[in-house]
Chains A and B, each alone.
Chain A
Amino acid sequence: MSQLIQDTPLIVAGRRFASRLLVGTGKYRDFDETAAAIEASGADVVTFAVRRTNLGQNPGEPNLLDAVPPSRYTLLPNTAGCYTAKDAVRTCKLARELLDGHNLVKLEVLGDEKTLYPNVVETLAAAETLVNDGFDVMVYTSDDPIVAKELEKRGCCAVMPLGSLIGSGNGLLNPATLALILEHADVPVLVDAGIGTASDAALAMEMGCDGVLMNSAIAHARHPVMMANAMRKAIEAGREAFLAERMPRRASASPSSPFAGRING
């Protein structure tokens, strides 16, 4: 056991997190399933969306923040559904008010409804405004290493490129560009979007990502709580494999059993 490398926690904007798996709260059947899946995932950071309150309907209806209490989790409000920098900034300010001044946000500014691909022009503008207003900005972006660096220059505390389209479950479609982002980043890099199953998450961690954020891969599994548990293990396994530094790939075979002493020798 003495050969185990002691891992460092994930540190984002000075906040320390034991788990490198971050999870969303959308698409679950109900808040009981949400709470059970998040508990099984072991996540410390939990994302949610900000929406207009339904007025005049079920004033006693359960609240997401009862299932995912801010006293237990670090809540990460997102700007999902925003297509302009202005709307994203407004949403972040509402979220900060909602959470009594908590200033960590997930910025995402989308380009269109079909792809939910990030609009990087609006994202860059929003990032600058939010950082100047005192927000700690974890930013969803394309897997473009130049854009990732520009977001970092604007003060974002974590860069979160997509693995593939939001909710697609297609995994890491361009590991080569993700590797370029990792090579040049000076802030944590987390894959956000596209994870489909445990091996996708493990691969991201093996490549050296600092964490993975996912929602649909857990919530839309047939058994979300079991998948949340699988994701927890995949993130840990991938992280340890990264720290252990994998063997080199080679074109030819190399026997694991010694040649000497064979009975046909």
Chain B
Amino acid sequence: MQIQLNGEPHPLDGEPTLVQLVDSLGLTGRRVAIEVNEEIVPRSQHAQTRLNDGDRVEIVHAIGGG
């Protein structure tokens, strides 16, 4: 299946959870926030939240700004 990840197509095997997605991206332990289909998914729910084909996922972090 395929999701839209930060605006780009991203193929996935199976239906991974957000924890598995974050791990596959090398972001485990990083301070990020995740939105799926424009809804926040709290960190406490990443392990139970499975992705589906066509999901639009945003992963964001803090950067310098004013």
Residues on A lying within 8 angstroms of B by beta carbon are 23-28, 34, 47-53, 55-56, 59, 63-65, 75, 77-78, 80, 90, 93-98, 166, 213-216, 219
Contact = CB atoms under 8 A, between A and B. Distances in A.
**Which are the 8 A-B pairs with shortest beta-carbon distances?**
A24-B66, A215-B66, A49-B65, A59-B26, A97-B33, A25-B64, A98-B33, A52-B6
A59 B27 CA distance: 7
Contacts, number: 99
Interface residues of B, number: 25
A51 B61 CA distance: 6
B64 A34 contact: yes
B32 A26 contact: no
5 contacts: A47-B65, A78-B66, A90-B35, A93-B35, A94-B60
A100 B60 CA distance: 14
Q: Secondary structure of the A side of the interface?
A: mixed
Interface of B: 5-7, 25-27, 30-35, 38, 40, 42-43, 58-66
Contacts of A27: 64, 66
B64 A48 contact: yes
Given A59-B27, A90-B35, A97-B33, A64 B62 contact: yes
A98 B60 contact: yes
B65 A94 contact: no
A212 B65 CA distance: 16
A48 B25 contact: no
Nearest to A51: B63
B40 A26 contact: no
A51 B30 CA distance: 14
B33 to A, nearest CB: 4
Given A53-B6, A53-B27, A55-B25, A94 B62 contact: no
A92 to B, nearest CB: 10
B66 A94 contact: no
B19 to A, nearest CB: 15
A29 B61 CA distance: 19
Nearest to B31: A65
Given A59-B30, A63-B62, A98-B61, 19 more contacts: A23-B66, A24-B64, A34-B64, A48-B62, A48-B65, A49-B62, A50-B60, A51-B60, A52-B60, A53-B27, A56-B25, A56-B26, A90-B35, A97-B33, A97-B40, A98-B62, A215-B66, A216-B66, A219-B66
